[in-house]
């Protein structure tokens, strides 16, 4: 595992904290996420539902976008927190894949419950048939260490 114990604990706590801020008025199912950059910064996100279903956003995408807003594109790991251990959806896994192309790193994905139990897998294990853009590969790589 690439994450050390301290980094793992920070990611889990941040994801659990973000979960408490979820805007889940329709489903009442809250998710929190925290993404860690390669330089150790952590950015949180939570799910936010819309009155129109397609206008919502997943916690993982929210966390990634939070990092992007702050100029960070180079990710080491992401944690998602739910009541039970739950892995990111397929759309989130694919979204994460494009950011993995930035640094050619197989992201670690942590799934944690609210009691602190967790499991860790590589993104390639969760989405073995990832779509990696050949036409945008060099443009994605240009964000490495930007």
DSSP class of 105: -
Q: Which of 24, 69, 66, 59 lies closest to 42 in space, CA to CA? A: 66
C-beta atoms surrounding 23 within 10 Å = 14
Catalytic residues: 60
Q: How far apart are CA 119 and CA 87, in angstroms?
A: 9
Q: Which of 23, 22, 42 lies closest to 34 in space, CA to CA? A: 42
Handedness of CA 48, 54, 55, 57 (dihedral sign): positive
């Amino acid at each position: 595992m690439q994450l050390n114990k301290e980094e793992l604990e920070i990611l889990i706590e941040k994801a659990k904290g973000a979960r408490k801020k979820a805007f889940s008025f329709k489903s009442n199912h809250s998710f929190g996420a925290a993404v860690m950059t390669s330089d150790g910064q952590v950015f949180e996100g939570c799910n936010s539902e819309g009155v129109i279903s397609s206008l919502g956003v997943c916690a993982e995408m929210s966390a990634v976008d939070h990092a992007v807003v702050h100029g960070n594109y180079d990710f080491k790991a992401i944690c998602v927190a739910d009541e039970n251990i739950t892995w990111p959806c397929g759309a989130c896994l694919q979204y994460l894949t494009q950011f993995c192309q930035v640094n050619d790193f197989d992201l670690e994905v942590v799934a944690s419950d609210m009691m602190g139990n967790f499991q860790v897998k590589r993104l390639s294990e969760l989405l073995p048939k990832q779509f990696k853009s050949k036409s945008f590969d060099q443009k994605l790589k240009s964000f490495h260490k930007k």
